[in-house]
Structure formats: C-alpha cells, structure tokens
C-alpha cells in the first residue's frame, strides 16, 4: 500500500461500516481522476483555516481589508465562468420524455461516457476533497445528505458555508446508508469542455469545467432542486426554488410564506425585508428562514411544513445596499467570500448600487476600474455567508419539523400587464398561476438579459423531470384532509411609460404581504376578476406612500384585453408539453380564458 492508497481509506473508526459504499465510490473516483492526494473534509475550523491559507498563498482568494471586513475574501473567477450554463446542464433519464421539453437531455450511458472521458486523469497534481454534507438541519426528517467530491478548495470553502458539512453529516450518512453522489472538477475551466449532468435515477451528479456557484456547489441547485425534485415526487413532498420568511404581527403571531421568483429577482431582499417605519413602530417583524430553496412536506395536521435545506446565502451583490437590504449588508461585514466584485483602493469590496461614497479602484477582473470598459462588479457577482450572520435569521430555521406555510407566492419581472398582486381562487388555480409564470431573464444565467420567458414556479432551470409530471405532482397535494396554503402572484417590477418602476418595492412589499396574511385570516377584502382576486386600493395599507394615479391604475387594475392575449400565450405554452399535461390544468386555463372572453 503506498501513501496515496492509504489516503483513500475512510476516516478512523468507520471502516467496515455502512460507509463502505461511500468508500468504494471515493476509491473508484480516485482511480478515474488520479489526484495526488485525497482529503476527507471534517468541517472543522482548523481545516477551513488551512484551506483558506492555501488559497491565499496561490492567489485563489485575496484577503480583503481586515479592519473593515474581518475574515473576508475575494475570489475572481475565470472571466468565462460567471453564471449557470443552462445549455450545458443536462438531465439524463433513461427516457427522454421523463426529462421533458423543459430540460436538455442525454441518454445516461452516453452522458457517463462523455463526462467520464473529461474526468479521466483530471485531478493529477491536485488534491481531491470529499465533502459529506447535509441539506437541512442535521436532525430533521426532511433533510437529505450528499457527498461532493471536488478538486476545488474554493468549492469546499463555499460548501462549508452553504451546507451542514463535515463530521455530523458523515455520521448521518452512516446511519442512513444513502446519499446523493456529486462529482465535480473545475477541469480546464474551458466552456467547450463543460457539462453539468444529473442522473436522477442514480441519485448522481457529475459536473465538469466550471467553478461557478450553481454549477459547482453541488448541494445547491443540482442536489437541492434537480435531484431533490425527483426524490420529492417519488416520496410525496416538494423541492422548490423559494425563499421562506416569517411575518410576525404586532400581536406576536407569525405566518410563514414561501415565495418563488427566478434567480436575481429579489428573493434575498424579500427574505430579509425590513418593515417600513410605520409597521416597525407597530411591532411588525420579519424573520428569515431561507432565501433560495424550500423543501415542503405535508404534516400530520394536513399543513405543508417547510425547511430551508441550505445553511448560508449565495446572494447577488450588485444592488445590495443599506437601503435595499440592510440585513444582507450587516450579514456580509465579516466571514464572507465575495466572488467577482470590485475593490476599493483600501481593499474593501465594492459593487454597483452599494450606495456608499467609496469608489472602486479595481474591477472584478482585477484590472484598474474603467467605467467605459466594464462595471466594477460582474452583474452576477455574489457573496457567500452563513445564514447565522443575518440579523433577521429565524431560530425556527433550525427546527427539525420545519415551519407551517400559510401562503405560497409566485412572481417574476413583468414590466407590463401583471398587477402588483392577486390571489388564486383555489389550489388548482394556484398551480396554473405558478405554471404560467413568466419573467424577464437576468444575469444569473448566461445568455440574453431582459427577454420574457415562461419560468413555471421559477423552476425552469431547476426541475429535474418533465414539467407536465411536475404540475401533476403539485395538483396531487389537493386531497382529503389537506390544509393547503393560499396561493398568490406578485409583480414588484411593473414599469410606467417612462420605464421607471411604479412600486417602491423592498420594505414596502410588506404592505402586500400583510394583505396576504389578512386574506389567510379572512380579514381582508378583494375584487373578483377572471384572473383571480385582486385587492382594491383600499384593501392595502398604502399610508405614507406617494403613488400617482397612473401607478395605482397599473398596479391595481385589470386589463382584460391584455390578459386575453396572455392566456393565448399560456395555452400555447402548456400545449407544448403534449399529452402528459394534466387535464385539470388545461381545463383551468380554458375556464379562465372563457371568463376573459365573456
Ligand atoms: O448560481 S446559483 O444557481 O447558485 C444562483 C442562482 O442562479 O439562483
Ligand atoms: Mn436561486
């Protein structure tokens, strides 16, 4: 046995246990990728410090100003590796139809062969890290474990923040004997040699050629959404692209809301909302449970209970300011990894919309800042920070039972037509509202920005199986004994004729959330329209807001002709899923289209 082979052995005290399958897989991967060493991550502070020191030494991480931002680092990615790559992200089910028209597909055998050829010998000269992790509180029955193998210490450091990683996760894997396998290598960071592949039947992920968040932190989108959505369907729960927040009213009652918005549409801001002054004075409070992913399961009382499977935030930096999101800004004062932001002359992180009086000296590519050349921060630059650093982080986020969900909210960026808020009539209508969601694209994925596309439940890039089957799975929750959340749709992004946003957003969104929970409690009014229940202006607390008549008309109005056209588009979109589309959803669309026509 040489030193390398010894490295492949399990951590002390675990040999011969239910971890044998894990050990065999690690050995198999090591013989394919041929790393110089194998490191089993225990998640300890000492391990993290050693990794950070190594990355500082080789330039992977640059230490930021230790006085203003203690224990914080900047990572500059390869300039071609700054976002998710949807065209290279594949769902590899045996039958193409099971992945559906919403996914790029490749047959499993072909996919394995293609990506294993890239992995062949790719870790020579590198260390291979084995990261056992748990998505969700370590003792929650809703949580699921995985193991990511990677050759990127940057990934290890980020996974340590984003998941419960290390020894406790390994212990749970040993108890349960099952885990999601994720193999990752940054490869050559060559966009021509890049794939993010999912094998739902094998509970396996293989990702090659990118170090970027959603492509490389495999616990996040790959496991907690694509693979988990597949598991959730089989096991009767939901894995969703949703933030979770608690709204505590002045009486001390807390309602929990789960809300789905596409990437870079303000989930982090909403999850950390600070109530407007008048609300604060009365005693309203917002509690953050999660900002990106929500796993929900019916409880014994028929309600849906949710956990945030993540332990940290991977938030968009640009636009984050004391005004837009003070809680996020407070969270990232220390112990934060910044990726692709600019820096000031004294080495403080900087991005467009940070709202301070400092100036960037160096841009995200490490070049002297020149606004004619490029922004200081990449539009999809990010911060990674532990959720525990967030002042509004809810203690309930660690509750193994999860929190009961009172309302589900769908929303996207819609410059026109879609009003500020409306409520679905019932669950089936709510599923249609989610299924027909549209949004203008953002910088979170490569490709054109600002193009309207259908993004059902904000899961277009993340659903690990055929959307038609996914909609059927959503519909299946409506059964005897179920006490399902109310469903709403919001649009914070409505614009006026001059292109400016009509709704102030941010903290003022609480005015809309209050209406929702009052609807849940049977206390607020609404106007019935074919698309759902809209608040009359008087149903919302607009005190202290200066909304011109044009804005009110657009935000609370209902444009029947515009919606008729929209419903034609929705019909065509749903038909694209063919015969697998649930009849109930088609009938619901037809019912509303008929009401709009009549
Ligand atoms: O890159 S991630 O997928 O992790 C972030 C996002 O796009 O939501
Ligand atoms: Mn997201």
- Residue 450 clears pLDDT 90, i.e. is over it: no
What is the pLDDT at residue 3?
Answer: 35
pLDDT in tens, 223-281: 999 999 999 999 999 999 999 999 999 999 999 999 999 988 999 999 999 999 999 99
- pTM of the predicted model as reported, rounded to 2 decimal places: 0.96
List, as one string, the DSSP characters of 160-206: HHHSEESHHHHHHHHHH---EEEEEE-TT--GGG-EEEEEGGGTEEE
Please, which residues have CB less than 5 A from ligand 2, an ion? 263, 292
* Confidence tier at 13 by pLDDT (50, 70, 90): low
Ligand 1 test: best mutation among 214, 242, 457, 463, most atoms within 8 Å of CB?
214
* pLDDT tens column, 29-86: 999 999 999 999 999 999 999 999 999 999 999 999 999 999 999 999 999 999 999 9
Residue range(s) in the chain whose domain bears CATH number 3.90.228.20: 240-311+395-597
What's the rounded Cα separation, in Å, for the pair 586 and 369?
Answer: 53
Candidate CATH numbers 3.90.228.20, 3.30.70.20, 3.40.50.2300, 3.40.50.880; the one for domain 240-311+395-597? 3.90.228.20
Instruction: Return d(Cα 200, Cα 483) in angstroms, integer.
Output: 30
pLDDT of res. 264: 86
Are the CB atoms for 320 and 312 separated by under 8 Å?
no
Q: Which residue among 134, 265, 390, 463 is the active-site one?
A: 265
Does the annotation mark 134 as catalytic? Answer: no
Atom index in ligand 1 nearest the CA of residue 84 equals: 1
> Does CATH number 1.10.287.1120 belong to domain 312-389?
no
> Whose CA is closest to 230, among 467, 464, 462?
464
pLDDT above 60 (res 12)? no
In the chain, CATH 2.170.8.10 covers: 312-389
Closest CA to 207 of 152, 144, 263: 152
Q: What values do phi and psi take at 466, rounded to 5?
A: -55, 125
The predicted pLDDT at position 536 comes to 96
Instruction: Looking at the CA of residue 444, tell me the nearest atom of ligand 1.
Output: 7
Helical residues (DSSP H) of 34-151, grouped into ranges: 45-58, 96-99, 108-119
Distance of CA 18 to the CA centre of its chain: 32
**Ligand 1 atom closest to the CA of 292, numbered from 1:** 8
Q: Report d(CA 437, CA 199) in Å as an integer.
A: 27
Judge whether residue 424 has pLDDT over 90. yes
Q: Summarize pLDDT for 460-498 with one digit per residue, the tens.
A: 999 999 999 999 999 999 999 999 999 999 999 999 999
How confident is the model at residue 4, as a pLDDT?
40
Q: List residues bridging with 288 in a β-sheet.
A: 245, 393
pLDDT at 6 over 50: no
Q: Is the pLDDT of residue 110 over 70?
A: yes
Residue range(s) occupied by CATH 3.40.449.10 in the chain: 17-60+81-236
Spelled out in words, what is the top-level CATH class assigned to the domain 17-60+81-236? Answer: alpha beta
Tens-digit pLDDT profile for residues 516-574? 999 999 999 999 999 999 999 999 999 999 999 999 999 999 999 999 999 999 999 99
Going by CA atoms, what residue is nearest to atom 5 of ligand 1? 214
* Separation of CA 325 and ligand 2 centre (Å): 17
Say what percent of the chain tops pLDDT 70: 97
The b/e string for 33-68 (b: 16+ C-beta within 10 A; e otherwise) is bbbeebbbbbbeeebbeebbeebeeeebbbebeeee
d(CA 213, ligand 1 centre) in Å: 6
Question: What spacing in Å lies between the alpha carbon of 221 and ligand 1's midpoint?
Answer: 7
The radius of gyration computed from the CA coordinates of the chain, to the nearest angstrom, equals: 24
Pocket of ligand 1 (CB under 6 A): 84, 213-214, 220-221, 263, 314, 444
pLDDT of 8 > 60? The answer is no
Confidence of residue 1 (pLDDT cuts 50, 70, 90): very low
């Amino acid at each position: 046995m040489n030193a390398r082979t010894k490295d492949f052995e399990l951590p002390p005290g675990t040999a011969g246990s239910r971890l044998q399958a894990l050990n065999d897989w690690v050995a198999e991967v090591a013989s394919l990728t041929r790393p110089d060493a194998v490191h089993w991550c225990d998640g300890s502070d000492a391990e993290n410090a050693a990794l950070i020191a190594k990355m500082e030494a080789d330039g992977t991480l640059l230490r930021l100003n230790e006085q203003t931002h203690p224990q914080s680092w900047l990572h500059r990615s390869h300039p071609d590796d700054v976002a998710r790559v949807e065209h290279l992200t594949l769902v590899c089910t045996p039958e193409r139809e099971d992945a559906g028209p919403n996914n790029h597909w490749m047959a499993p055998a072909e996919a394995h062969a293609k990506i294993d050829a890239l992995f062949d010998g790719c870790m020579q000269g590198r260390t291979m890290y084995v990261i056992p992790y748990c998505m969700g509180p370590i003792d929650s029955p809703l949580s699921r474990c995985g193991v990511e193998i990677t050759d990127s210490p940057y990934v290890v450091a980020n996974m340590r923040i984003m998941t419960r990683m290390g020894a406790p996760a390994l212990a749970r894997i040993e108890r349960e004997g099952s885990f999601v396998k994720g193999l990752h290598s940054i490869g050559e960071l060559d966009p021509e040699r890049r794939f993010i592949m999912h094998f739902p039947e094998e509970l396996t992920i293989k990702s090659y050629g990118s170090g970027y968040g959603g492509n490389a932190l495999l616990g996040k989108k790959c496991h907690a959404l694509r693979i988990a959505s597949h598991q959730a369907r089989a096991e009767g729960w939901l894995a969703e692209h949703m933030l979770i927040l608690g709204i505590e009213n002045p009486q001390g009652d807390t309602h929990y809301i789960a809300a789905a918005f596409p990437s870079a549409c303000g989930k982090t801001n909403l999850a950390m909302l600070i109530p407007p002054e008048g609300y604060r004075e009365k005693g309203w409070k917002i509690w953050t449970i999660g900002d990106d992913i929500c796993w929900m399961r019916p409880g014994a009382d028929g309600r849906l209970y949710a956990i945030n499977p993540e332990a940290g935030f991977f938030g968009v930096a640009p636009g984050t300011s004391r005004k837009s999101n003070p809680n996020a800004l407070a969270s990232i004062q220390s112990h934060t990894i910044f990726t692709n932001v600019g820096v000031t002359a004294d080495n403080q992180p900087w991005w467009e919309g940070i709202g301070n009086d400092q100036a960037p000296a160096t841009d995200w590519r490490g070049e002297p800042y020149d606004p004619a050349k490029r922004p200081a921060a990449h539009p999809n630059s990010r911060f990674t920070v532990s959720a525990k650093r967030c002042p509004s982080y809810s203690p309930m986020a660690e509750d193994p039972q999860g929190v009961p969900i009172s309302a589900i909210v769908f929303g996207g960026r819609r410059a026109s037509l879609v009003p500020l808020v409306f409520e679905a009539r019932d669950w089936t209508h709510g599923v249609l509202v989610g299924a027909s969601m549209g949004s203008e694209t953002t910088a979170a994925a490569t490709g054109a920005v600002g193009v309207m596309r259908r993004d059902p439940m904000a899961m277009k890039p993340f659903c690990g199986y055929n959307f038609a089957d996914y909609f059927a799975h959503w519909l299946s929750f409506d059964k005897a004994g179920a006490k399902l959340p109310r469903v709403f749709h919001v649009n914070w992004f409505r614009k006026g004729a001059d292109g400016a946003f009509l709704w102030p957003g941010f903290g003022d969104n609480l005015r809309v959330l209050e209406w929702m929970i009052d609807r849940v409690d049977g206390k607020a009014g609404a106007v019935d329209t074919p698309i759902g229940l809209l608040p009359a202006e008087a149903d919302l607390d607009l005190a202290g807001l200066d909304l011109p008549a044009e804005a009110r008309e657009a935000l609370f109005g209902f444009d029947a002709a515009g919606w008729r056209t929209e419903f034609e588009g929705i019909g065509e979109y749903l038909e694209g899923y063919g015969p697998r589309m649930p009849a109930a959803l088609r009938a619901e669309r037809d019912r509303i289209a008929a009401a709009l026509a009549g």
